[in-house]
Amino acid sequence: MKSATAPARVRGRGRARRPVWGEGMKPRVVVTGLGAVTPVGVGKDAFFEGLRTSRNGIGRVTRFDPSSFRTQMAGEVRDFVATDFMTEREAHRLARFAQFAVAAARMALGDAGLTVDRANRDRVGVVMGCGIGGLETLEEQVGVLHSEGPRRVSPFFIPMMIPNMASGQVAILTGARGPNLTVTTACAAATHAIGEAFRTIQRGDADVMLAGGAEASITPAGFAGFCSLRAMSRRNDEPEKACRPFDRGRDGFVMGEGSVVLVLESLEHARRRGALPCAEVAGYGASDDAYHIVEPDPGGEGALLAMQRALLDAGLSPADVDYINAHGTSTPLNDRCETVAIKNLFGPGATKVAVSSTKSMTGHLLGAAGGVGAAACVFAITTGIVPATINYEEPDPDCDLDYVPNVARRAQVDVAMSNSFGFGGHNGVVVLKRYER
């Protein structure tokens, strides 16, 4: 099906081209490195292996006693050692979410074979998405305030807590002096961060951008807030089966934590240094539902608009898309509304597109979720494996697409789309494609 807003097909290959007026005006942007700190693995190789084997990273909470909470499970990062990636002094001054971000950024730079030095540091920037920031630090220091008084509150309290310290500390500890931003658009934050980094390179403000998201909100206050919203799953007797996107028995999301950072470069810069791109960022779209503070638009109109804009920006049509990493939170409303949006975009072809939610394995990383989704798209493009939606046991009549149930699937993926939708109605979509010379 051809979208009403998609450019016409040309040259007989079934692919749509960018409008002639745009050719030569915007530099191509490629992905040359990836770093990951996730519940299914720390490091690119471990994360990819987790996706390949459909590893479940969700279990009963260990970071605090969850017994008194309605929800008692999460996707925790249990094999992360901060001092593997930074000094003890540095780790002591960073909140957990910022530790994740710095670790992922340093791994991404290593994967890209890129060193930030005096020669290039002014042209290397950072954009990170973060929904909440140092919530654990906030809770600890408020406790100190009430129990010991204001003079005992740490001087590092504010610098550790504020959400912009993921991007700030990545710059400080890597030396990147280019454009530096933090995007705080709830669960769409990391996707918006990747999209804005893409735009930063396109307009010539940087040659390289570190982009992604970081979050660490598995805390008593975080859980209490989401439990009060009744947004999280209560399947406490089977925590490993609690996150079940698109399944009829889904009853809420499962919180996750971690960080994923991509190294984006202009193709010209990557070529000059002999880097081999693993994918290309083709398009970016954003919108808002303008509907409700926490509920998605039932007709999926905002999500549809973001997907249309991303494809138009990429010069592609819906028929070109091989895989969608869905937002797929395992909440009754979100999964149904996203399905509606995909069906409205793809029409009769919707059932032919592989759609999966890797949140079924990692949990929902909130402001970092879009980084995981983009990385899963890179995984699918580079390995020829589409990650699964695990815990899919009973089809929902309202969710009737190909959700790649339970087992990863071999398939050629040339174009992949990553969807992210957040509280406040924020929608973000990035399109990645196979790199071709």
- The whole-angstrom distance between residue 127's C-alpha and the CA centroid of its chain comes to 13
* Separation of alpha carbons 271 and 266, rounded Å: 9
CB of 350 closer than 8 Å to CB of 342: yes
Catalytic residue among 130, 187, 278, 337: 187
Exposed (0-12), middle (13-18) or buried (19+): which is 222, by Cβ within 10 Å? Answer: buried
Catalytic residue among 192, 269, 364, 426: 364
CB of 406 closer than 8 Å to CB of 54: yes
* Separation of alpha carbons 233 and 222, rounded Å: 14
Instruction: Show the tokens assigned to 200.
Output: 């930063």
Instruction: Show the tokens assigned to 223.
Output: 């859980």
Cα dist from 427 to 110, 191, 370, whole Å? 31, 9, 11
Radius of gyration of the chain (CA): 20
Is 364 a residue of the active site? yes
Is 426 a residue of the active site? no
* Separation of alpha carbons 212 and 367, rounded Å: 9
Instruction: Show the tokens assigned to 14.
Output: 């079934």
Handedness of CA 217, 219, 224, 230 (dihedral sign): positive
Percent of the chain that is helix, strand, coil (3-state, to 5): 40, 20, 40
DSSP for 188-214 reads GHHHHHHHHHHHHHHTTS-SEEEEEEE
* Separation of alpha carbons 418 and 180, rounded Å: 23
Q: Return the closest-CA partner of residue 106 out of 194, 175, 26.
A: 175
* Separation of alpha carbons 187 and 355, rounded Å: 19
Q: Return the closest-CA partner of residue 367 out of 225, 242, 258.
A: 258
**3-class DSSP state for residue 357?**
coil
Is 327 a residue of the active site? yes
Catalytic residue among 192, 227, 269, 327: 327
**3-class DSSP state for residue 431?**
strand
The residues carrying an active-site annotation are 187, 327, 364
